[in-house]
Structure 1
Amino acid sequence: MTQLPPVPSNASLETYSIKEGIKVIEQFFDLPFDYSNPEGEKIRVFARNLIPKRKAKTAKEEEELPYPSSRVFARHAGSNLASTFSGLTYRLGGPGYEIPFPNINGYVAEIHEQGYQTLWMDPRGTGLSTHISPESLPASLTTDQAIADYLKFFRADSIVKDCEAIRRILLGHKPNPEDRKWTILGQSFGGFCAITYLSFHSEGLKEVFTTGGLAPLVDHPDSVYAATVLRVMKRNKIYYDKYPQDIQRVRNIMSYLEENEVQVSNGGRLSPNRFQHLGMDFGMHGGIDRVHQLVFRAANDLDTFGHLTYKTVQLIEQAQSFDGNPIFSILHEAIYCQGRASKWAAARTLQDYPQFSWSSVKSLADSVPIYFTGEMIFPSMFDDYANLRPLKGAAEIIAQYDGWGQLFDLQQLSKNEVKVSSVSYFDDMYVDFNLAQDTAAKIKNTEQYITNQLVHSGLRADPKDVMKHLFQLSKREYD
């Protein structure tokens, strides 16, 4: 296992209670920016601990509550947290997304009901952790190369090292080695991080749950996009079959955006390409209907006023989070890279699919739909999104960078002894089912609940069903 340097327990705490009997402990940790230089620059990481007070009525009971972690779940050694319970840490999707204050109902309630306290960590570069945005980058980063070199430290390998450092701060004091471990739950990219954790720091893990998060074990994203583009096309077909009048509506909107300069509120450009990015929502429960409502509204604007109204443009802008979470755009393809450059893999893949190209489709019959794109990043985004423009040069450098380190260890995964219980979605648009099955076969001690009744956001859409199956899988009971 990879050894991490000692990390001082320098967390700051704030504690309060909210309804439903939940105790909240909010903590900041100053951790090494680069773990190969632990005495060097520090980065701040935020974690929020939720403790169900009905499961832990005394400080001693809190101390014994186990940790499940969502993104990173842990407990603080110096606080009066419960510790007879186990803990669970939760990791959200991404990369580049923070964890909003958890809805204490839904799957959070299901986890707490099982006797866990939970820890919710904003990964480095997001949320209340040292946030990455053009205006928040260190002043010393004066060139595109310097910015690119800095951003290389925000992948799963660094995130997992942060998690492991926090685990040792929160649980390292416990006399029983098993009590120093925690359980992690990884949704989507959180599952990718869980696989990195299993590869290099499995000694810190008691158990792993993933939902839509069995990452493709590849060293380059080309095979990922070759698979997922077919799933995006399937979702487009479902969309236009459900809303056939949107074929003409979308064509009209694309023509209007091509012929007119439309700005969103922060100065970004609503280009035809940017409008197609709405398709990223197609893989979520209700996503197709949400996109239709935006299309219907935009088409009504054009029919009524001959232009898009402020409100419609505002709604489209609010449906796209690339400006506020720039790590996603800069590092999305890099989450698949080991020793190879991504070279704008999604853009290269779509060159073989004219259904996504407005320049190809616009000259065809009005009955031919233009397809929306999915979870894909394109160079043009660094022109269309105002908050990505200052990062355009760094993004190009990262796309051409081939010195990426390891994100997983196949040999270690093949002999994994940590119990892994996963929910996989047959119709997942973001994490291809067939690639996920290849991954499951390569990680020893992995079992799955597979369903075609839910899609990638199943944990949020039907938390009771998903968590029930995860906890049932965890029992490893067989007929």
Structure 2
Amino acid sequence: MASDQRVKVQPAEIIEQRTYQVPGAYMSHSRLIYTPSNTFSRASHVFPLQTSHPDAADVHKPIPFPPLTDPTHAGKLLITEHHFLVPKDHHNPSSGTLRLFARSARRVASFANPLPDDNTKPLPWMLWLNGGPGQSCPPPQHYPFTDPLLDRGYQVLILDQRGTGLSTPVTASTLGQRGDVDVQARHLKLYRADSIVRDCEAIRLALAAQLPAGSMQGLEKWSIFGQSFGGFISVTYLSFYPEGLRESFIFGGLMPLVEGPDEVYRRLYRVLRRRNEVYYAKYPEDVERVKSVVKFLGRWGDGRVKLPSGGSLTGRLFLALGIGFGMHRRIDSVHDLVLKAALDIEMFGHLTRGTLSMLEASLGWDDCLIYSILHEPIYTNGTAPRWSAHRVKEAEYPEFSLKRLDSDDPLYFTGEMVYPWMFDDCFELAKVKPVAEKLAADNDWPPLYDLEQLGKNEVPVYAAAYVEDMYVDIDFSRETAAAIKGCKMFSTNVYYHNAIREKCKEVVDQLFALRDDVID
């Protein structure tokens, strides 16, 4: 029942907060060292922290912003690293805890005559809800939307959602420490949008408790800024904890209000088919190149070509490069990989280490277990996913079959769909195959939205939806927008799914125009 999802949330325990300065320009260099790691198709680079702040402090008490000795240099940001403890299961707080990590950003005051509290006075919070599921976040200064939000008077909180980044990450090794397959399955069911929303509420309550006496004035609520799966989380938030929200901005993430994923994939395969047609129209020579690579991979038996991690580069895994087809500039990136692989085979008779590394980085399934295992359950409400994407493809979309290899038709790339064979081909995923199979057959999934609450929503909602979105069907987006009382939607056919990164100013300006402009 939807009412069971409204469990009372307790404030998170703040175990550490540390603040430091960085330059404020997007993708600028900071004095801390960050190293880009794998790129996964639905998220940008992840930048794991390589150094830590040297100052010592009592980690059990909130730490205020430190005094600044150089507060008048324009363009700097104050970055605070926050560490929280929350219940693993908010329905059962005694079940144990998870450690969550977030970074916040605000401007360093640069007034001609700064006041002592310019860098500490309360500002309204904007919470970034990342895409995924299962994607971690780079620091705030590496996002293109940070400056536009700070310019509008917010302070920004970038949260690594539970199981990602520095928030008790879920990997094959950490999952194995939890216990047997049954225990692992119960644990993973706590990593969907409903649990993430409760984490957010716990953090909001903890930060609100730090506000100076008499300074509330609505600042105890916060705004949310959700991209893709982050938009799904936003709809869940609006359904079960709207009292914590000032406003909601959603980018390519109006959750389909469905009971299961079958119809979701049925529609997304149609968009994926069009994107394949666009690819081969732009690069017709790749029809034969793609086939040559797939034939090479199966020459001595599919799975004999190994990736640097130890996984198998099969023909079907190679075709999963199409996951990027719905992003700005990614069709060209896939062509570059196809060209490099085909030329390697033509010149040397094998794939070089550099090519294999590039292919592995572009696929990235092994580095995101939550994405791979819980991708279909993000759509389930009391139904078993049963490898929905695989079933729908096999039954209704023969054009995505490898049987076309010896025909005149092109081989179509697959998209963001997760298939059961990935838990054979991918090295890390193979370690969690039993729990993935168990969750695929599970029908005990609580609801992720409440239609009644959405229908009487009072939180201002502004959403961007993209006509050619390959990941969130435009018709589902329109249906969801219509179901949320007061939702204002900007729809366009000139942006793709990652517009918040590639066309940030344009799409952010459009949503704030929905909020601020007068309709004439």
Shorter-chain TM-score: which interval? over 0.9
Give the match for residue 312 of structure 1.
Answer: 355
Report the equivalent of 1:205: 245
2:185 maps to 1:148: yes
1:254–1:46 distance in 2 versus 1, CA, 3 Å: same
Aligned-partner Cα distance in 2 for 1:10–1:190: 23
Residue 170 of structure 1 is matched in structure 2 by 207
Describe the SS at the equivalent of 1:136. Answer: helix
RMSD of aligned Cα (Å) = 1.5
Q: For residues 192 and 124 of structure 1, do their structure 2 counterparts lie closer, same or farther at Cα, with a shift above 3 Å needed?
A: same
Residue of 453, 457, 474 corresponding to 2:498: 457
What is the rounded CA distance, in whole Å, between the counterparts of 1:151 and 1:168 in structure 2?
A: 25
Q: Deviations over 1:20-43 (max 9, x none)?
A: 310010011111000111133000
In the alignment, residue 169 of structure 1 is paired with which amino acid?
A
More off after superposition, 85-94 vs 151-160: 85-94
Scaled by the length of structure 1, the TM-score of the pair is: 0.92
Following TM superposition, by how much is the alpha carbon of 1:476 offset from its aligned partner in structure 2, in angstroms? 5.6
**Where do residues 1-400 of structure 1 align in structure 2 (5 Å cutoff)?**
2-7=6-11, 9-20=13-24, 21-54=76-109, 60-62=117-119, 81-83=120-122, 85-104=123-142, 106-137=144-175, 139-141=177-179, 143-172=180-209, 174=211, 175=214, 176=216, 178-260=218-300, 261-351=304-394, 352-358=396-402, 360-365=403-408, 368-400=409-441
Equivalent pairs counted in the alignment come to 456
Q: Percent identity?
A: 40
Deviation at 1:19, TM superposition (A): 1.0
Cα deviation, residue 104, structure 1: 4.7
- The unaligned stretches of length 5 or more in structure 1 are 63-80
Deviations 1:438-470 (A, max 9, x none): 000000010011111110011111111111111
Deviation string 1:377-414 (CA, Å, 9 cap, x unpaired) is 00011111111111100000100100000100000000
Distance 1:55 1:442, change over 3 A: farther
* Partner SS, residue 266 of structure 2: helix
- Aligned mates of 1:121, 1:17 — CA distance in 2: 19
8 Å CA contact 1:24, 1:50 repeated in 2: yes
Instruction: Tell me the CA shift for residue 5 of structure 1.
Output: 3.9
Whole-Å Cα distance in 1 between the matches of residues 257 and 11 of structure 2?
Answer: 30
Q: What is the deviation of 1:363?
A: 2.8
The unaligned stretches of length 5 or more in structure 2 are 25-75
Would you say the 8 A contact 1:184–1:194 is kept in 2?
Answer: yes
Secondary structure of 2:14 counterpart: coil
Distance 1:61 1:419, change over 3 A: farther
SS of residue matched to 1:408:
coil
Superposed displacement of residue 478, structure 1:
1.2
Select between 90-99 and 254-263 the one with higher mean Cα deviation: 254-263
Give the CA deviation at 1:375: 1.1
Shift of 1:173: 5.2
Q: Deviations over 1:237-290 (max 9, x none)?
A: 000000000000001111111124110111100011110110000000011000
For the residue of structure 2 that corresponds to 1:361, the secondary structure is helix
In structure 1, what residue type is equivalent to 2:173?
E
More displaced stretch, 438-447 vs 37-46: 37-46
CA distance 1:50–1:104, change in 2 (3 Å): same
Report whether the alignment pairs 1:477 with 2:518.
yes
Q: TM-score, structure 2 length as denominator?
A: 0.85
